[in-house]
A and B are shown apart, each in its own frame.
Chain A
Amino acid sequence: MENIDISKGFKVILTGMPDLSVIQIPEPETIAVSALDIPYIRPKLLVKENDPVKTGTPLFCDKRNKSIHYVSPGTGIVKQIIFGQRRRLVEVVIALDKIQDKKDDFIQFETLSRDDLDTVPKSKITKMLQEGGLWQCFRQFPSKDTADENHEPPMIIVSLNGNDLFSPHPHAVLENETTFFEFGISVLKQFSKRIIVTSRQDNLSSLNRLNGLNKHITHIVPDFYPAWDPGVVLYKLKTTREENRSWCISAEHLVLMAKLLLTGRYPVKRVVTVTRSNDKKPHIITRQGAPVKDLAGSLDDNSLITTGRFNGRSVESGSHMGFFENTLTIISDNQKEELFGFIKPGLTKPTASKTFLSCLTKTPKNLDCNTHGEERACINCGYCVNICPVDLMPNFIIKALLSDDIEDALNYGLLDCCRCGLCSYACPSKIELTRILSHGIDAHYKDKE
């Protein structure tokens, strides 16, 4: 195990860390597969409303590669297909079957045994994963689109931690799943010569208790956000240009892949966390695509529900969890206009700067979903530069992007940006840096496609 030296990130300690215990909640009435958390997808529907579906029935595929399926995580009927603006697919909602005593009726896919692994061709495994609805777990840098099956990635980064500080703890996700995890690693070895597995420093001791898992961990990252983000890890590890097109996958998804290949059944179980300031909720076992309101409960206030405070999406309480999402962060709204608020000493105000007394205390802080000020022109203060984990200069890159100078932006390293959101977080002028950068990356990628 090597340490990766990462010095920049979000170091404020927050309240609301979930408890390590795990509970199971009752089966939801509806589940859904969302298209909103799948980057770049151009979905083509394969079902109609009221169609019966089994667990594993493909619901839609990606027009750009029709063999990549997104399958139903439950058995029932298609209750509703929701479209957003410009008829963009939002969710395929499925009402779960009650009659069969909540037993899934699985589509049986082909299986693979451990011994087959060395003899079957890679293309065969690819096909099994695509049909089984899990190929998209592989994401390809730099834009993190679905991995290109014809490309041999120079490395695959497996991340034990999710997109948020309080994403499910790997111990809760991988408990009892080590054998699947190990099988998953052997599958990855068919795709790339170099497999990187990273873990947060503070998780190591509890992971030690999981049999044999630690020996697969290749790198340790510090315990502040977003050191474990595969984009940051790639930036720190890469030595050649080719490595810019590496792949990444989360450990949870790797286990799902292993289960699919070994059992031939689409695995539907997910571990999620629901976090909120000052709460300490247990991890929750539920089904993929569970309704947000089942997890978050009913919220009477103005809180924002997101799937990651820095880089998730904001979700309505009537919607469902996405394929890639395994945490709900409920951020309270503190929208009161304080008299002379800008000059209070601020003992409890979270900040990455040194301008509030709170930076002297180690007590955990609460973040709210307010901007704390209005947008202004960039004053070149460099706060965004000082916090960017991949050593970018967001202020200079957005200047290039806003003047349509994509060449300069790329030279400055635009595509290394992992969209962690920290630059926007820290900017005292409240400039939407991450949004502009993210638009820039997407526009460039779509242009090339």
Chain B
Amino acid sequence: MNPLKKLLDSSEKYFTGSGKFNRLKPLFDATKTFLFFPSPKTSHIPFVRDSLDLKRFMSFVIISLLPVLIFGIYNTGLQAGYALGESYTFLQAFFSGSRYVIPIILVSYSVGFFWEVLFAAIQKHKISEGFLVTGLLFPLTLPATIPLWQVAVGISFGVVIGKEVFGGTGRNFLNPALTGRAFLFFSYPVSMSGEVWVAAASSVDGVSGATALSILAPEGEKITSALSNSGFSLSNLFLGFVPGSIGETSALCCILGALFLIITKIANFRIIIGGIAGLIVTSIIFYLIPGGSDSWMNAGPLFHLCAGGFLFGISFMATDPVSAPGTNPGRWIFGFLIGFFTVIIRVANPAFVEGTMLAILFMNVFAPMLDHIVIKYNVSRRIPNV
């Protein structure tokens, strides 16, 4: 027998029944089942079950996040280097970036995990794998210079208020990672909003850098050229070599992740495609309205698509099945409206530059209603059987 398995089996008695640490049973279970995949015998029909389970399901989301994570670390280092007036090699940038990003992720996971274990122990349920995703999604939406205590506050809010008070994974209607982020955004606007403190060697004299979405063109200049002049050319935005939240800058990496999720059918393509369609249609409409050429109204679909956290949000946040609609027409509408509202918020209210986040949270609230309407319609087409 595997020695690790032996150790787990022999220590099991402390965590069950009247064992010393029986309150930590969920933690023990989680560790054990994480290491050794549990597969008990079926006892009800059907006697056979699919090989896919929630651990694998959630692991696939993590895998899809690897490109944005790795690029995010690299880009953070790169931007920090720029702020210091140096240009790092790849390895230098990666290590420098790790120094900012890894602590944030560690804090997010450990604080969030603490709440998970606590609630699992109180409510006597198993620790849900959903947290593995939340704990990584959340830090990726943050700027690298965020103080670690704010990370802790944000993830606590997201896990506790966004999820556990509703009864845990599966019963929450808001995306927990986004809930945490929105909380930070409104509570600590300075460290969260358009003015990002670009990570620098010492955060005290970090250099202030704008994100693409906070750019306004000077009189007479077009928004697109103003963007390019400040370093936000379309190709930079697409590849992600711009300041911004850790995981959100690279459109390319988001698309890679999204493709992985779509091909493996972990995420529903309807949400992603619907969202992109909504964003493109809305931004074209604004583009065609005369005037406003100096604002994001006139940025056109490509800039809207590549700037800010839209692709990140629509690929990884909006596709969280728990807080998205469960019906296919509902998913199309849900996605489309997220794209629509993202543009509306960006254009109409420059104070909330990051429209995607609000659009997704807003649509999370309406997801059950969309489902309700679709189900009503579906039911009306069935031949009643009562």
Partner of B324, one of A351, A380, A410: A380
| Stretch of A78-86, A192-200, A310-318 contacting B (4+ beta carbons < 8 Å) | A310-318
Minimum C-beta distance from A449 to chain B (A): 15
Q: Are B54 and A379 in contact (CB under 8 A)?
A: yes
Residues of B within 8 A of A8 (CB): none
Interface residues of B in 213-269 (CB under 8 A from A): 263-266, 268
**Set A240, A309, A374, A414: member contacting B38, Cβ < 8 A:** A374
Contact A373 B39 (CB under 8 A): yes
Contact yes or no, B47 A393, CB < 8 A:
no
Query: Contacts A142-B385, A339-B4, A393-B327; is A422 near B41 (CB within 8 Å)?
Result: no
B383 engages A244 (CB within 8 Å)? yes
Stretch from B124-132, B192-200, B202-210 contacting the other chain: B124-132
A424 at the interface (CB under 8 A from B): yes
State A304–B321 Cα separation when bound (angstroms): 34
Cross-chain contact A380 with B322 (CB below 8 angstroms)? yes
B6 to chain A, nearest CB (A): 12
Asked whether A346 is an interface residue with its Cβ less than 8 Å from the other chain, the reply is yes
Interface string of A323-337 (1 = CB under 8 A from B): 000000101011111
A425 touches B265 (CB 8 A): no
- Taking a contact as CB atoms under 8 Å apart, the answer to whether A310 and B385 are in contact is no
- Give B4's nearest chain A residue, CB to CB: A339
In B1-47, which residues have CB < 8 Å from any A CB?
Answer: 2, 4-5, 33, 35-47
In the complex, B111 has a CB within 8 A of chain A? no
Binds A, one of B66-74, B90-98, B164-172, B182-190: B164-172
Q: Which of A33-41, A119-127, A428-436 contacts B (4 or more CB under 8 A)?
A: A428-436
Once bound together, how far apart are the Cα atoms of A410 and B46, in whole Å? 22
Scan residues 304-318 of chain B and give those whose CB is less than 8 A from a CB of chain A.
none
Do A369 and B385 form a contact, CB below 8 Å, given A342-B53, A351-B51? no
Does residue A173 face the partner (Cβ distance < 8 Å to B)?
Answer: no
Q: How large is the interface on B (under 10, 10 to 19, 20 to 34, 35 or more residues)?
A: 35 or more
A376 lies within 8 A of B169 (CB): yes
Q: Please name the residue on chain B nearest to A414 by beta carbon.
A: B385
Query: B326–A434 contact, CB under 8 A?
Result: no
CB of B39 within 8 A of CB of A422, answer no
Q: Are B126 and A346 in contact (CB under 8 A)?
A: no
Taking residues whose C-beta sits less than 8 angstroms from the other chain, chain A's interface range is 35 or more
Contact B386 A310 (CB under 8 A): no
Do A373 and B54 contact each other (CB < 8 Å), given the known contacts A339-B2, A379-B321?
Answer: yes
Contact of B45 among A336, A367, A421 (CB under 8 A): A421
Q: Which of A304, A339, A382, A413 is the one whose CB lies under 8 Å from B42?
A: A304
Q: Mark A236-250, 1 if CB is under 8 A from B, else 0.
A: 001111011000000
Tell me the smallest distance from the CB of A280 to a CB of chain B, in Å: 19
Decide yes or no whether A363 CB sits under 8 A from chain B. no
**B47 with A309: CB separation less than 8 A:** yes
Tell me whether A376 and B36 are in contact (CB under 8 A): no
Q: How far is A430 from B44 in the complex, measured between Cα atoms in Å?
A: 11
CB 8 Å contact bits of B59-86 with A (1 = contact, 0 = none): 1100000000000000000000000000
Is there an interface contact between B47 and A331, defined as CB atoms closer than 8 Å?
A: yes
Task: Please name all residues of chain B whose beta carbon is closer than 8 Å to the beta carbon of A333 when the two chains form the complex.
Answer: 41
* A355 in contact with B47 (CB, 8 Å): no
* CB–CB B42/A371 < 8 A: yes
Contact present for B45 and A369 (CB under 8 Å): no
A26 to B266, CA, bound (A): 52
A373 to B41, CA, bound (A): 10
| Contact among A240, A335, A339 with B35 in the assembled complex (CB-CB below 8 Å) | A339
Residue from B46, B56, B57, B266 with most neighbouring chain A CB atoms (10 Å): B46
Assess whether B288 is interfacial by the CB under 8 Å rule.
no
CA distance A329 to B47 in the complex (A): 10
Q: What are the residues of chain B within 8 A of A239 when measuring CB–CB?
A: 383
B residues less than 8 Å from A355 (CB atoms): 52, 56-57, 60, 264-266
Q: Are A353 and B45 in contact (CB under 8 A)?
A: no
Q: How far is the CA of A445 from the CA of B52 in the complex (A)?
A: 34
Contact partner of B385 (CB less than 8 A), chosen from A304, A379, A416, is A416
A350 lies within 8 A of B382 (CB): no
Complex Cα spacing A421 to B42, Å: 13
**Chain A residues near B379 (CB, 8 Å)?**
411-413
For the complex, give the distance between the alpha carbons of A377 and B53 in Å.
12
A299 CB-CB contact with B under 8 Å: no
* A434 & B46 in contact (Cβ 8 Å cutoff): yes
CB of A3 within 8 A of chain B? no
Point out the residues of chain B lying under 8 angstroms from A414, CB to CB. Answer: 385
Interface residues of A in 384-420 (CB under 8 A from B): 385, 391, 393, 395-396, 410-416, 419
Given contacts A373-B38, A379-B57, A434-B44, 5 further A-B contacts (CB under 8 A): A338-B37, A342-B56, A371-B40, A376-B129, A435-B44
A-B contact pairs, 5 of them (CB 8 A): A309-B47, A340-B37, A371-B39, A379-B54, A396-B326
Rank and list the top 6 A-B pairs by shortest CB-CB distance, nearest first.
A373-B53, A341-B37, A377-B170, A421-B46, A337-B36, A342-B55
Q: A: which residues have CB within 8 A of B?
A: 142, 238-241, 243-244, 302, 304, 306, 309-314, 329, 331, 333-343, 346, 349-356, 358, 367-374, 376-383, 385, 391, 393, 395-396, 410-416, 419, 421-422, 424-430, 432, 434-435, 438
